[in-house]
Chain A
């Protein structure tokens, strides 16, 4: 065991760093920048039953220490992902990958997960019940514990792979949603997805984003994300993957201390394609600075009093 090793739902990771869905495509864009096999794993672009173009542009708005996106789950649909994207992904990434799945009905989620369950390269199913950018789906499942549990249960039935439910921070009580998913058979929880946000162009008085609102991410949301990871990790027995504004090796350590067993990095990949490589390379030295010998020893190690 190296000092960066960790385990996510029974599958070993060389390190806790996982590029988050929607910021890493199917991996091969980043393989042009570095050998992506250095990653723990990565979560590929949110996949739905049917192909989707997503929302009209502009889909991006800059914010202080972050950005808003309203891409709207653009993806070629699960059949094309399996036929065209996964073979390309396999050429550049030789570890189990995390398949991120979205849907507009419980049946949608089950359909897509059942298809992906047959793919050897998929290690985990990350079930996104929290996309803020699609009407009538996604987040509505993640804001209601009962609906989130229904999706979890349906997905659980169609796969033997670990099911990680990705939660929305746009709720009053995230612990209630996490517990409902755990009770419904989830093997892990990942959080947080983006915070619903908005910008207005003062000159035109119109929203910057064509879809009016979108998902806010970036360093600005890190404290909110960390707090929720801490709350959920203390409330459930299943492993938690922390994410939200993580941009440095130190952020990774904070997430681990809060109780995450692995950490997803999103937005940072978009402004620096080498972000995850840099974080992984810097982790040992930053751990030395804090007298941390191994990643696993600090998981949930936040001290009180």
Chain B
């Protein structure tokens, strides 16, 4: 974990609400795909946790959706501006259990952390299959980026306006060895209910600190109480306990 200054090198919209921000700084504490950073923004008290989409040398890429004041502020920032960023937060995905043909299932703004994961799995010569789910054609992003990594990519839209009609769970391939997923909770629940293998699920929660101090984002799991920010955000399928 490290708190350091990053400089914005680009910040562009991918869709009406989703932006891609590239930053330059000390990324040395980002050790796993699926980790996140926590960003301080002028005038807002709490930092904003954003998942790492890609890290390449000193370049950090964040893909975020404008959902409130913080992300709106981020979307208005220009190259050259700086941000105070806590890096290396969260456990991230464990690649050891991927097998030969890992399946990556991403929904909406849950897609970004899977990109770094696909990069790392590809570098280990695994046959990566990706299914990306969105509501409509207008919301689709990063399809080509995943293809450029050599992944087989299926896009599903809930309204059928692009790719396959339906949800990611309607587009599972016949053959896969393990599942990695990130997306809204209803999607995670659906994935949990229909995959044939084990997997790792990335969760989201409102956080105070982002580094394990405040117990603001605790959840119950089979193996005890866990902090989403510190012991997560990635939980193994076997340890998940769904609320209610």
| Interfacial residues, chain A to chain B (CB-CB below 8 A) | 22-25, 29-30, 32-33, 45, 53-54, 56-67, 69, 71, 74, 218-219, 269-274
Contacts and interface: CB of A to CB of B under 8 A. Distances in A.
Contacts of A45: 215
A60 B207 contact: yes
Interface in B151-170: none
Interface of B: 1, 3, 40, 44-47, 86, 205-209, 211-220, 225, 230, 243
A71 B216 contact: yes
A63 B45 contact: yes
Nearest to A274: B3
B212 to A, nearest CB: 5
Contact of A30 (B86, B206, B213, B217): B213
A240 B165 CA distance: 65
A57 B1 contact: no
A272 B4 CA distance: 11
B212 A67 contact: no
A25 B47 contact: no
B45 A57 contact: no
B243 A59 contact: no
A29 B212 contact: yes
A71 B215 contact: yes
Contacts of A219: 45
A160 B225 CA distance: 34
B1 A33 contact: yes
A203 to B, nearest CB: 10
A66 B218 CA distance: 20
A174 to B, nearest CB: 25
A63 B44 CA distance: 8
Name, among B212, B216, B225, B243, the residue most crowded by chain A CB atoms within 10 Å (CB to CB): B216
Contacts of B220: 53
A270 B209 contact: yes
B3 A60 contact: no
A34 to B, nearest CB: 11
Given A29-B212, A273-B211, A53 B218 contact: yes
Contacts of B47: 271
A52 to B, nearest CB: 10
Contact of A272 (B1, B3, B207, B217): B3
B213 A25 contact: yes
Contact of A60 (B44, B217, B219): B217
A54 B227 CA distance: 12
A270 B1 contact: no
A289 B46 CA distance: 30
18 contacts: A45-B215, A53-B220, A57-B205, A57-B206, A57-B217, A58-B206, A63-B45, A67-B45, A67-B208, A69-B214, A74-B215, A74-B218, A74-B225, A218-B45, A270-B208, A271-B209, A273-B86, A273-B213
